[in-house]
């Protein structure tokens, strides 16, 4: 059997003696380590009953009910990032940026616990991160460093806490999958270059919202449901976990398309997912794995954010299917 590559050795080779890359490597290592602790808490499930409880009555910055574990996860990440070269943290759970290392030259945006409405159901939840460069000489205000189109990301990824704790990461050179080896404690490289199949017969969407969708989305799903006899000429399968990290990992494994469109409900005009710490990192990972990511028509990574917590309609996965969806709009 060939030599195992750990996250540490992978990052050591990738960064070499490049100071900027070393800073990114250190930051991702800290997030991965925080993830191991969060995975342990998630795995205690009902034994940590209090953590799945909704916190107070106020929603979080993104407008969702906040669970105890959302807040604990954010705190674990913040603490892990303090000694790294990250200057600020943007988080779903905090209205404002959280200051970290005053000499840092990176900003990190996270969804500390994606899919947290599922904590008590024992399906995968995860942590999503996006890393951008920060230069105080250019960005007088750190918020302006975060409010840039996703093409500026230097690294992105997510941890999914499922049967295995996995890290899907990109440093701009393809997309890699690492698996946390509970025996050695290391993240071990399992897939060095993820390739999302271009074509698919599998889509994922919360179909209970169908009556709220706009016409293009309704037509797209109707055509999938029509199967072989319909205009698509093939039978489709539908899969929806309702934890984006889990749905994304399935797409990285066997292709498919994930769709959370904007709809007619108040507050859902731009769908549900947040641009900066959900759509952008996933779009970066997907593109690096030869997939596509749009808001229906426009490439996610080209969109200039106007608010840290803004939502964006999101379509990502197998390239040909993402393009097909654009043709309905
Ligand atoms: P969260 O970050 O508050 O968990 O919200 C994002 C989640 C995604 O993981 C998931 O795909 C989506 O919301 C599910 O939304 P819905 O319950 O409307 O189907
Ligand atoms: Mg979340």
Domain ranges of the chain: 7-191, 202-326
The answer to whether 278 is a known catalytic residue is yes
In the chain, pLDDT over 70 holds for what percent of residues? 95
C-alpha 219 to ligand 1 mean position (Å)? 23
The answer to whether 18 is a known catalytic residue is no
* Burial of 198 per CB tally in 10 Å (0-12, 13-18, 19+): middle
At residue 49, the pLDDT reads: 67
Which residue owns the Cα nearest ligand 1 atom 14? 242
Which residue owns the Cα nearest ligand 1 atom 5? 115
* Burial of 128 per CB tally in 10 Å (0-12, 13-18, 19+): buried
Q: Is the pLDDT of residue 31 over 60?
A: yes
ipTM passes above 0.85 = yes
The answer to the question of whether 60 is labelled as a binding residue is no
CA 151 to chain centre: 15
Confidence of residue 36 (pLDDT cuts 50, 70, 90): very high
Looking at the CA of residue 118, tell me the nearest atom of ligand 1.
4
At residue 24, the pLDDT reads: 98
Q: Is the pLDDT of residue 1 over 60?
A: no
Looking at the CA of residue 243, tell me the nearest atom of ligand 1.
9
**Fold of the CATH domain 7-191:** Fructose-1,6-Bisphosphatase; Chain A, domain 1 (3.30.540)
- Please give the Cα distance from 243 to 125 (Å, whole number): 6
At residue 119, the pLDDT reads: 87
Mean pLDDT along residues 232-242: 97
Please give all residues whose beta carbon lies within 6 A of any atom in ligand 1, as ranges: 64, 111, 114-117, 206, 242-244, 247, 272
Q: In what order do the strands lie in the sheet with 292-294?
A: 237-238, 202-204, 257-260, 314-317, 292-294
Higher pLDDT, 186 or 3: 186
Q: Is the pLDDT of residue 58 over 90?
A: no
The answer to whether 70 is a known catalytic residue is yes
Looking at the CA of residue 247, tell me the nearest atom of ligand 1.
11
The 3 state secondary structure assigned to the chain is CCCCCEHHHHHHHHHCCCHHHHHHHHHHHHHHHHHHHHHHHHHCHHHHHHHHCEEEEEECCCCCEEEHHHHHHHHHHHHHHCCCCEEEEEECCCCCCEECCCCCCEEEEEEEEECHHHHHHCCCEEEEEEEEECCCCCCCCHHHHHCCCHHHCCEEEEEEECCCEEEEEECCCCEEEEEECCCCCCEEEEECCCCCCCCCCEEECCHHHHHHECHHHHHHHHHHHCHHHCCCCCCCEECCCCCHHHHHHHHHHHCCEEEECCECCCCCCCCCCEHHHHHHHHHHHHHHCCCEEECCCCEHHHCCCCCCCCECCEEEECHHHHHHHHHHC
Protein residues placing their CB within 5 Å of the ion ligand 2:
111, 114
| Cβ partners under 8 Å of residue 147, min gap 6 | 276, 304, 305, 306, 308
**Fold of the CATH domain 202-326:** D-Maltodextrin-Binding Protein; domain 2 (3.40.190)
Higher pLDDT, 315 or 49: 315
Confidence of residue 48 (pLDDT cuts 50, 70, 90): confident
The answer to the question of whether 114 is labelled as a binding residue is yes
C-alpha 17 to ligand 2 mean position (Å)? 35
- Please give the Cα distance from 11 to 175 (Å, whole number): 13
Q: Is the pLDDT of residue 52 over 70?
A: no
Span of 7-11, 57-61, 264-268, 303-307 with lowest mean pLDDT: 57-61
The answer to whether 64 is a known catalytic residue is yes
Which one from 68, 70, 74, 321 is the annotated catalytic residue?
A: 70
Span of 63-77, 103-117, 160-174 with lowest mean pLDDT: 63-77
Which one from 114, 202, 287, 295 is the annotated catalytic residue?
A: 114
Which one from 74, 247, 263, 278 is the annotated catalytic residue?
A: 278
CA atoms in the 13 A half-sphere facing the CB of 181: 12
Residues 118-153: tens digit of each pLDDT: 888 999 999 999 999 999 999 988 999 999 999 999
At residue 189, the pLDDT reads: 98
Q: What is the pTM of this model?
A: 0.95
Q: Is the pLDDT of residue 57 over 90?
A: no
Which residue owns the Cα nearest ligand 1 atom 16? 242
The answer to whether 159 is a known catalytic residue is no
Mean pLDDT along residues 7-31: 98
The answer to the question of whether 247 is labelled as a binding residue is no
Q: Is the pLDDT of residue 110 over 90?
A: yes
Which one from 92, 247, 263, 287 is the annotated catalytic residue?
A: 92
Mean pLDDT along residues 313-329: 98
Mean pLDDT of the chain: 95
């Amino acid at each position: 059997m060939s030599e195992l590559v750990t996250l540490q050795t992978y990052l050591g080779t990738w960064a070499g003696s490049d100071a900027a890359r070393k800073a990114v490597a250190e930051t991702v290592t800290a997030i991965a380590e925080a993830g191991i602790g969060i995975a342990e808490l998630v795995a205690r499930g009902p034994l940590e009953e209090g953590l799945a409880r909704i916190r107070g009555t106020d929603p979080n910055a993104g407008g969702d009910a906040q669970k105890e574990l959302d807040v604990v996860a954010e705190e674990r990440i913040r603490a892990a990032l303090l000694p790294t070269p990250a200057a600020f943290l943007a988080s779903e759970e905090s209205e404002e940026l959280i200051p970290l290392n005053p000499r840092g030259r990176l900003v990190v945006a996270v969804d500390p616990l994606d899919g947290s409405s599922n904590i008590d159901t024992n399906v995968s939840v995860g942590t999503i991160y996006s890393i951008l460069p920060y230069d105080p000489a250019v960005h007088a205000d750190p918020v302006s460093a975060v409010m840039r189109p996703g093409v500026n990301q230097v690294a992105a990824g997510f941890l999914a806490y499922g049967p295995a704790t996995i890290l899907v990461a990109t440093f701009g050179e393809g997309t890699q999958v690492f698996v946390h080896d509970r025996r050695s404690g290391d993240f071990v490289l399992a897939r060095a270059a993820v390739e999302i199949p271009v074509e698919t017969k599998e889509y994922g969407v919360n179909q209970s919202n169908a009556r709220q969708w706009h016409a293009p989305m309704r037509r797209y799903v109707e055509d999938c449901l029509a199967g072989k006899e319909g205009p698509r000429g093939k039978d489709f399968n539908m899969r929806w976990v309702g934890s984006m990290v889990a749905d994304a990992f399935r797409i990285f494994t066997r292709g498919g398309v994930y769709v959370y469109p904007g709809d007619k409900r108040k507050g859902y005009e731009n769908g549900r997912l947040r641009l900066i710490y959900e759509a952008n990192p996933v779009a970066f990972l997907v593109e690096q794995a030869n997939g596509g990511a749009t808001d229906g028509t426009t490439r996610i990574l080209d969109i200039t954010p106007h608010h840290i917590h803004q939502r964006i309609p999101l379509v990502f996965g197998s390239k040909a299917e993402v393009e097909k969806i654009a043709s309905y709009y």
